[in-house]
A and B are shown apart, each in its own frame.
Chain A
Amino acid sequence: MAVVIVIITVVLMSLVFRILYVIYWSSKPFQTKPRKPVRTLIILGSGGHTAEMLNLLSVLQADRFCPRYYIAAATDNMSLQKASVFENLLADKTGGKSGKTAEFMQIYRSREVGQSYVTSIGTTIYAVAHALLLMMKIKPEVILCNGPGTCIPLCAIAFFFKVLGMNWSSIFYIESIARVKRLSLSGIILYKLHMADQLFVQWPQLQRKYPRAHYVGRLM
């Protein structure tokens, strides 16, 4: 009996240390240079969120952040369409010689508005399994997200992979310009749980409130 307790304690302790280790190293910049291109997962929100993300992508070096995997909620038809327009423009600019550098995927929501809680247990399990499969396939080195909720399960899975030593990714969260005084729920979760390697805000008063965030000015 005592042996079992000791084993469980050791396992839990090492898990806690591993989590602290991951959190510590997540906030540290990489030292190795020069780097190869990074597999980049881009999680699109909707409407304004997607517009802000595409603004960022238009200034990120496409040859460094590739291949690019775009994920949007299955209920959001517009975002992937906008991302594919963006990718087509990019391909035109580079002469289209870069080959297959972008992929587009949809993710299920664990619960639709108005769905009952009983059936949402099943859909949640299904949504999580689907997200796990996608993440194992993509194995992102960089994750770019800016809310809303769609990004949370994916970031949680990415963090879980880091803890298990399966795949290391750097998670960047850019809070929406619409958030002036308070972080969004997604922002708070990623900030409080130290899941985002870097969290950017677009208004100085937000940075004062959340000192570990980085103020980067307006994207729009």
Chain B
Amino acid sequence: MDGSDGSLEPRRMVFVTVGTTSFDTLVRAVDTQEVKEELSKRGYTDLVIQMGRGSYFPAKSSGEDGSLNVEYFTFSSSIADNLKEASLVISHAGSGSIFETLRLGKPLIVVVNEDLMDNHQSELAEELAERKHLFCARPQTLYNIIATMDLDALIPYESGDAMPVAKLINRFLGFPDD
């Protein structure tokens, strides 16, 4: 759709976010040659990684040789701006960043952290993947997911509604419906 022929490509950024802790296995998986080449092949020009408290630092690259331009930072108070700018989001499985991304209507790959003790987080990502609102991956399957994903198959997420709970609470307490 861009209609550009490579000389003055528009910026198409992939934003990776690990949230408030660390998720080195995700950053490592994104920082592999095969993943970066595949992203580049799919027309993405930039890779911005929010790496949190992780100790693995990805290789920075200015992208002058036609490869992906890679940047990273630890934390930022305005992840929202990165999400808004992104053409593709690769995120940890926290519900906050999942719904923030879906609400912006951005294509999303959620990567489940299998090292977490109480891993209920995969439940939400898998349910939403089944409903085709996002793609669900593990660090070791990330490349496969990127290589085979069809972004057109994603179904836009319709925001939920708190009215039904509010109504039930009101009724229970004896307040009239209005």
| Co-complex (A, B) | yes
Inter-chain pairs besides A47-B20, A61-B175, 17 sampled, C-beta below 8 Å: A29-B174, A30-B172, A34-B175, A51-B96, A59-B163, A60-B166, A142-B173, A172-B169, A172-B172, A177-B95, A184-B120, A198-B172, A216-B164, A217-B160, A218-B161, A219-B160, A219-B161
Contacts of B121 in A (CB 8 A): 178
Contact partner of A214 (CB less than 8 A), chosen from B160, B163, B168, B175, is: B168
Contact partner of A48 (CB less than 8 A), chosen from B95, B166, B168, B174, is: B95
Cβ of B171 under 8 Å from chain A: yes
Q: When chains A and B are docked, how far (Å) is the Cα of A174 from the Cα of B165?
A: 8
A61–B170 contact, CB under 8 A? Answer: yes
Contacts of B66 in A (CB 8 A): none
Given A33-B176, A182-B120, decide whether A200 and B127 contact each other with a Cβ distance below 8 A.
no
Cβ of A119 under 8 Å from chain B: no
Cβ of A75 under 8 Å from chain B: no
Per the 8 Å Cβ criterion, residues 100-158 of A in contact with B are 142, 144
A176–B162 contact, CB under 8 A? Answer: no
Cβ of A56 under 8 Å from chain B: yes
Contacts of B173 in A (CB 8 A): 29-30, 35, 38, 142, 170
Per the 8 Å Cβ criterion, residues 29-51 of A in contact with B are 29-35, 38, 47-48, 51
Cβ of A58 under 8 Å from chain B: yes
Per the 8 Å Cβ criterion, residues 77-114 of B in contact with A are 94-96, 99
Contacts of A172 in B (CB 8 A): 169, 172
B120–A178 contact, CB under 8 A? Answer: yes
Minimum CB–CB distance from B75 to chain A (whole Å) comes to 13
Cβ of B76 under 8 Å from chain A: no
Given A177-B124, A178-B123, decide whether A56 and B162 contact each other with a Cβ distance below 8 A.
yes
Interface residues of B (CB under 8 A from A): 20, 94-96, 99, 120-121, 123-124, 126-127, 159-166, 168-176, 178
Cβ of A180 under 8 Å from chain B: yes
Contacts of A184 in B (CB 8 A): 120
Cβ of A159 under 8 Å from chain B: no
A60–B169 contact, CB under 8 A? Answer: yes
Minimum CB–CB distance from A199 to chain B (whole Å) comes to 11
B123–A220 contact, CB under 8 A? Answer: no
Contacts of A33 in B (CB 8 A): 174-176
Contacts of B160 in A (CB 8 A): 55, 177, 202, 217-220
Minimum CB–CB distance from A162 to chain B (whole Å) comes to 15
Per the 8 Å Cβ criterion, residues 7-42 of A in contact with B are 29-35, 38
Among residues of A, the one whose C-beta sits closest to the C-beta of B128 is: A180
Query: Which of B95, B126, B169 has most A Cβ within 10 Å?
Result: B169
Contacts of B168 in A (CB 8 A): 198, 200, 214, 216
Given A55-B162, A58-B162, A59-B163, decide whether A176 and B174 contact each other with a Cβ distance below 8 A.
no
B169–A198 contact, CB under 8 A? Answer: yes
Cβ of A64 under 8 Å from chain B: yes
